């Protein structure tokens, strides 16, 4: 059960409605979805819908039959749009996020940022805290990396996205980033999800390597039920037996998310395939099946990348990808303004 308040509901309205629900034994989660407050009740709570509607501040009540209540498309059939700088996730024009895997040094960061800006990406990415399989691998420049990212933002005007690895770092990283990234290894780090759920910054949540669609949406639900409605999902490849690509990018989840949820979903073809030569074709495929954007690894000198060198593309390939993307996008804008309905 989800209760959507009308647009002029205020804190007092929420408090009195919440108190009324609590007095009947319901546990209530309150979220802000852009212009609207939304209350969700713990599963299994029987409730008299008419009594709820009697409250002036209530716009409508939605019965949701999945475990993910706030992430369910029924709650917001028109889809969620999240604006960051010039980028609008979930809007009519897909967003391109690009940049190097890691911030390595000032020169590399600024060169990469210039490439990304020059060819029309709307958001700049780079990692300052790197989750590495081996304790002996380069672990990122940490806060110094965030400072360099901030300098790149000033220089290019592009908003920045970077990964946060631990609940204890959320405040610090949020001091720099415009969008916080939760990596695939942390999709089920619930303490971290709760920590970013308490912010009002956009969060990009990557699908875990062995995660079902249902689990991805429930991890999003942790953030939404904490009060942060600005969640962008990201497909980045799953683990399968198949070994010609490092991971198996599962584009099927793009239209499946569009059916199940109102949240925007973007695609990471760089980690998703782990092969530089597959980045461009899979980017175009992602856009063609309805993705709300891409996140691509671009490096000024791909072969010298300190991490994930095999999957970063250079300026020339990126420029061609941006040009080809525009054609697919222009086709999509004309043909498919409401992708959800057209899939039925």
Q: Which of residues 4-33 bind its own copies (CB under 8 A)?
A: 27, 29
Contact range with its own copies by CB under 8 A, out of 36-44, 83-91, 92-100, 148-156 = 36-44
Q: How far is CA 227 from CA 261, 317, 334, in A?
A: 17, 40, 35
Among 112, 128, 280, 312, binds its own copies (CB under 8 A): 280
Among 22, 191, 333, 338, binds its own copies (CB under 8 A): 191
46 binds its own copies (CB under 8 A): no
Output the smallest distance, CB 140 to its own copies, in A: 11
CB atoms within 10 A of CB 117: 17
Q: Are 226 and 198 in contact (CB under 8 A)?
A: yes
Q: Are 149 and 128 in contact (CB under 8 A)?
A: yes
Output the smallest distance, CB 1 to its own copies, in A: 11
Contact range with its own copies by CB under 8 A, out of 7-15, 93-101, 171-179, 207-215 = 207-215
* Per-residue burial over 246-275, b = 16 or more CB atoms within 10 Å of its CB, e = otherwise: bbbbbbebbbebbebbbbbbbbbbbbbbbb
Output the smallest distance, CB 211 to its own copies, in A: 8
Contacts with its own copies by CB under 8 A: the residue count is 83
Instruction: Give every CB contact of residue 252 below 8 A, 6+ residues apart in sequence.
Output: none
Among 19, 22, 43, 63, binds its own copies (CB under 8 A): 43
- The tokens 């979930």 sit on which residue? 90
Of 189, 207, 298, 220, nearest to 247 by C-alpha is 207
Q: How far is CA 175 from CA 55, 146, 162, 181, 201, in A?
A: 38, 9, 11, 14, 10
213 binds its own copies (CB under 8 A): yes
Between residue 104 and residue 163, which ones bind its own copies under the rule CB under 8 A?
A: 131-136
Q: Looking at beta carbons only, is 156 or 283 nearer to its own copies?
A: 283
254 binds its own copies (CB under 8 A): yes
Q: Looking at beta carbons only, is 185 or 201 nearer to its own copies?
A: 185
Q: Are 228 and 197 in contact (CB under 8 A)?
A: yes
| Ramachandran quadrant class, 258 (left: phi over 0; alpha: psi -120 to 50; beta: rest) | alpha
Between residue 222 and residue 241, which ones bind its own copies under the rule CB under 8 A?
A: 222, 225, 238-241
Q: Are 242 and 93 in contact (CB under 8 A)?
A: no
Q: Looking at beta carbons only, is 91 or 255 nearer to its own copies?
A: 255
C-alpha 42/C-alpha 27 separation (Å) is 6
Q: Looking at beta carbons only, is 159 or 293 nearer to its own copies?
A: 293
Q: Which H or E element spans position 4?
A: strand 2-5
Between residue 154 and residue 173, which ones bind its own copies under the rule CB under 8 A?
A: 165-169
215 binds its own copies (CB under 8 A): yes
Question: Token digits for 43?
Answer: 């599963």
Q: Quick one: how far is CA 21 from the chain centroid?
A: 32
Question: What is residue 102's DSSP assignment?
Answer: B
Between residue 59 and residue 98, which ones bind its own copies under the rule CB under 8 A?
A: 67-69
Contact range with its own copies by CB under 8 A, out of 57-65, 75-83, 112-120, 218-226 = 218-226
Q: Looking at beta carbons only, is 125 or 246 nearer to its own copies?
A: 246
Output the smallest distance, CB 120 to its own copies, in A: 17
Of 14, 4, 1, 74, nearest to 44 by C-alpha is 1
185 binds its own copies (CB under 8 A): yes
Between residue 281 and residue 310, which ones bind its own copies under the rule CB under 8 A?
A: 281-282, 284-290
Output the smallest distance, CB 33 to its own copies, in A: 16
Question: Token digits for 108?
Answer: 């590399």
221 binds its own copies (CB under 8 A): yes
């Amino acid at each position: 059960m989800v209760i959507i308040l009308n647009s002029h509901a205020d804190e007092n309205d929420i408090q009195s409605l919440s108190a009324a629900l609590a007095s009947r034994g319901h546990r209530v989660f309150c979220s802000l979805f852009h212009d609207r407050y939304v209350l969700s009740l713990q599963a299994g709570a029987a409730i008299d819908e008419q009594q709820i509607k009697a409250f002036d501040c209530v716009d409508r009540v939605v019965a949701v039959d999945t475990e993910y209540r706030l992430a369910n498309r029924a709650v917001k059939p028109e889809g969620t749009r999240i604006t960051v700088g010039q980028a609008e996730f979930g809007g009519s024009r897909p967003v391109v996020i690009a940049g190097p895997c890691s911030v390595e040094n000032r020169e590399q960061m600024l060169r990469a940022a210039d490439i990304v800006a020059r060819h029309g990406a709307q958001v700049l990415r780079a990692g300052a805290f790197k989750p590495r399989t081996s304790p002996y691998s380069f672990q990122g420049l940490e806060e110094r990396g965030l400072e360099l990212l901030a300098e790149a933002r000033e220089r290019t005007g592009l908003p920045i996205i970077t990964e946060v690895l631990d609940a204890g770092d959320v405040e610090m990283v949020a001091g720099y980033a415009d969008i916080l990234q939760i990596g695939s290894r942390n999709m089920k780090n619930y303490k971290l999800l709760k920590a970013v759920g308490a912010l009002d910054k956009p969060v990009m949540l990557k699908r875990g390597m062995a995660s079902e669609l249902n689990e991805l949406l429930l991890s999003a639900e942790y953030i939404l039920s904490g009060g942060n409605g600005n969640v962008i999902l990201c497909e980045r490849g799953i683990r399968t037996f198949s070994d010609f690509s490092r991971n198996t990018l599962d584009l099927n989840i793009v239209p499946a998310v569009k059916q199940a949820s109102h949240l925007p979903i973007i695609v990471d073809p760089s980690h998703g395939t782990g092969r530089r030569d597959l980045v461009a074709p899979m980017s175009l495929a992602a856009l063609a099946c309805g993705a709300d954007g891409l996140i691509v690894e671009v490096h000024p000198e791909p072969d010298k990348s300190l991490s994930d060198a095999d999957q970063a593309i250079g300026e020339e390939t990126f420029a061609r990808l941006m040009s080809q993307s525009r054609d697919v996008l222009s086709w999509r804008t004309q043909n498919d303004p409401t992708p959800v309905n057209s899939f039925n």
